[in-house]
Structure 1
């Protein structure tokens, strides 16, 4: 069996996300990409990481625990 590329794995995961959640995923990816390209000190990296974690948490705030636990 052929191993899928990381790009294909990401594509498969994205297709399984409800349409109503795609904006949040876009924001998470966008800010992550900006953080990668930004050359800054440890404080900049920490701030971007915290912002990304907050955005990720917002995605799940209205979901039931069972939905979250199904991904663990």
Structure 2
């Protein structure tokens, strides 16, 4: 089965509200711009070219810090 993938294209200030993906991991890559990521009450800034894995049963959110921020996200089931 192919994991679900999404491509987000944001202007500065746009993003995803606080949410959870319990039982899943998310591969997040920043193609262009900069992305602010909040993960379990910790804040991170991800520049273009950065790839990270997000895995938590807690909550996270994201917000573009620049116009034209493009972020593909792939969700992976951990079960």
- Which bin holds the TM-score, normalised by the shorter protein? under 0.3
Greater fraction of residues in strand: 2
Structure having greater relative contact order (Cα 8 Å, sep ≥ 6) = 2
Greater fraction of residues in helix: 1
CA radius of gyration, larger in: 1
Q: TM-score normalised to the size of structure 1?
A: 0.22
